[in-house]
């Protein structure tokens, strides 16, 4: 063990396993908890250090890390403990499960203080295990009670390192600014008053069941970020740019990103279908996440439709519109049309939102008309059953019980779902952005003479305060974007 650790640590005199809990995954986000587990090159535990950190903004993502605003109220800021962290990191070989993420978050905190943390190499147990921390610990029999607690995760990562020591890459001594003052302040999570935490969003529960077997480490690291980013079921423009930047840092090209998105979405689908039922909440979640990650809705629907089809009875009435799809093994299309017309039904050519029935030789047909009928929730009936029926009789049909479509705001990218038959366009401003755009349009119209043609209102942009994390939107204007909200300027 000693020889291997010495060889892999690149000249460092010890290893430090690091784990952070953060307000989010982007460079503007802050650390809310940090843990450092120091080990000798013999693999012996020397020291454990952990503390909550006041992020000087909203803690965010409480449903993931379990930290509330009141828990960090008396916690030190990063500036106060930067010296305590730096002295532990300097000269050590850094270890983490997804090291690029934790290193980036700690490096950003030092940069805010005008200081630099240099790490030219480290050991990454994500690369060594090829799976998420919980899955890796389960595979190697390592206890992980209370995941997403920094000290718990760091301690488990340290044990995992000892099992995978020769598979985690090579490291080098870190260079940290040791001239910073040390305060010695800590506030551990267990020393705060326990609070009742909010229930996590449904998607967070689903992501815990997504299987990443045989997925390369860089893709898993990226999808860990995606999980956090889409917890609110949408990605705004800034989030998309940040994810693209992070993917580039991980060496993922557009093709691999698209493949990762599809793997993630279909992993969610399989997790949702474990009980063979698709609820309205599950459908809403799956469609909105797919939309956010540019995964085609039809691919998701193809997988979940069999679990959403419901049989019901429809009474045939005079003038009911019906569309015929596919070829029948016995009857010509003209014969079927003539028979249904004689029955009192109105046979039309194309499926639209007002169509009342679709007649198919096989109700499981995948024809274009059948797909459209399911999209709108239109009942599909067997041609044979329809030909044998009479006006006023009930006939068994199959339909998608809750056909939905995604609507997206073009300004903030917020999404929601509506009925598949709804006349609402798939692109529509949300309730928050519509008043801003209307106000901007009115101001611009009043400020300049009328011209021919319709005027397109300017795009609304969302901004995030670097100090408190507050989000606000405004009309897009030229010039430098404000970095603080009105309350923090």
Model pLDDT, residue 268? 94
Q: How confident is the model at residue 188 (pLDDT cuts 50, 70, 90)?
A: very high
Residue-level pLDDT at 433: 87
CATH topology of domain 309-400: Rossmann fold (3.40.50)
Residue 472's pLDDT is 67
Give me Rg for the CA atoms of the chain. Answer: 29
Per-residue pLDDT at 309: 86
Q: For 44-70, what is the mean pLDDT?
A: 93
Q: What pLDDT, in 10s, does the model give residues 317-335?
A: 999 999 999 999 999 999 9
User: Which pLDDT belongs to residue 63?
Assistant: 85
Q: Which two tokens stand for residue 92?
A: 């050590």
**pLDDT range class, residue 478, cuts 50, 70, 90:** low
Instruction: Give the closest residue to 86 by CA, choosing from 59, 119, 57.
Output: 119
106-110: long-range contacts (C-beta < 8 A, 24 or more apart)?
Answer: 106/18, 106/20, 106/31, 106/34, 108/27, 109/30, 109/31, 109/78, 109/82, 110/82, 110/86, 110/176, 110/177
- What are the φ and ψ backbone dihedral angles of 315, each rounded to 5 degrees? -90, 125
Structure confidence at residue 32 (pLDDT): 97
* Mean pLDDT confidence for 11-33: 94
Considering the domain delimited by 2-194, tell me its CATH architecture: 2-Layer Sandwich (3.30)
pTM of the predicted model as reported, rounded to 2 decimal places:
0.79
**In whole angstroms, what is the distance from residue 144 CA to residue 152 CA?**
7
What pLDDT was estimated at residue 164? 94
Residue 453 pLDDT exceeds 50: no
- Which alpha helices (DSSP H) does 210-253 contain, by range? 217-229, 237-249
Residue 454's pLDDT is 44
Q: Give helix then strand counts, H and E, for the chain.
A: 17, 15
Pick from 352, 355, 297: nearest CA to 322: 355
CB 22 within 8 A of CB 105: yes
Q: 123 with 158: CB under 8 angstroms?
A: no
Q: How does residue 451 score in pLDDT terms, banded at 50, 70 and 90? A: very low
């Amino acid at each position: 063990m000693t020889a291997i650790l010495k060889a892999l640590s690149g000249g460092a005199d010890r290893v430090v396993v690091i784990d952070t809990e953060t307000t989010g995954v982007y460079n503007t986000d802050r650390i809310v908890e940090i843990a450092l587990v120091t080990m000798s090159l013999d693999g012996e535990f020397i020291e454990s250090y952990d503390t909550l950190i006041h992020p000087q903004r909203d803690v965010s993502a409480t449903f993931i890390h379990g930290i509330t605003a009141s828990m960090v109220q008396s916690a030190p800021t990063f500036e106060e403990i930067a010296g305590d962290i730096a002295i532990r990191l300097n000269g050590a070989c850094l270890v983490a499960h997804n090291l690029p993420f934790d290193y980036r978050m700690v490096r950003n905190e030092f940069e805010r203080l005008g200081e630099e943390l240099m790490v030219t190499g480290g050991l990454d147990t994500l690369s060594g295990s090829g799976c998420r921390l919980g899955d890796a610990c389960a595979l190697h029999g390592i206890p992980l009670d209370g995941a997403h607690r920094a000290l718990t995760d760091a301690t488990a990562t340290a044990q995992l390192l000892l099992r995978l020591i020769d598979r985690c890459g090579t490291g080098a001594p870190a260079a940290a600014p040791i001239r910073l003052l040390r305060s010695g302040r800590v506030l551990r999570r267990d020393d705060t008053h326990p609070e009742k935490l909010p229930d996590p969003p449904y998607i967070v529960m689903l992501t815990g069941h997504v299987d990443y077997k045989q997925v390369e480490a860089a893709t898993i690291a990226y999808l860990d970020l995606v999980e956090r980013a889409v917890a609110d079921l949408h990605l705004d423009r800034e989030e998309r740019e940040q994810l693209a930047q992070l993917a580039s840092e991980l060496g993922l090209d557009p093709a691999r990103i698209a493949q990762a998105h599809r793997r993630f979405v279909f992993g969610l689908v399989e997790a949702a279908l474990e009980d063979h039922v698709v609820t309205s909440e599950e459908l809403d979640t799956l469609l909105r996440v797919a939309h956010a990650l540019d995964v085609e809705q039809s691919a998701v629907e193809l997988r979940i439709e069999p679990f959403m089809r419901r049989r019901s009875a429809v009474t045939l009435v005079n003038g009911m519109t019906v569309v015929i799809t596919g070829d029948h093994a016995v009857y010509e299309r003209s014969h079927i049309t003539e028979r249904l017309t004689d029955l009192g039904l109105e046979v039309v050519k194309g499926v639209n939102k007002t169509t009342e029935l679709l007649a198919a030789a096989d109700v499981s047909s995948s024809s274009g008309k059948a797909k459209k009928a399911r999209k709108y929730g239109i009942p599909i009936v067997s041609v044979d059953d329809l030909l044998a029926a009479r006006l006023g009789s009930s006939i068994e049909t199959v339909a998608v019980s809750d056909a939905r479509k995604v609507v997206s705001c073009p300004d903030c990218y917020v999404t929601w779902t509506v009925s598949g038959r709804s006349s609402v366009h798939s692109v529509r401003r949300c309730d928050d952005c519509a008043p801003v755009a209307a106000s901007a349009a009115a101001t611009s119209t009043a400020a300049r003479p009328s011209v021919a043609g319709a005027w397109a209102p300017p795009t609304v942009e969302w901004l995030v305060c670097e100090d408190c994390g507050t989000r606000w939107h405004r009309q897009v204007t030229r010039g430098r974007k404000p970095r603080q909200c009105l309350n923090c300027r």
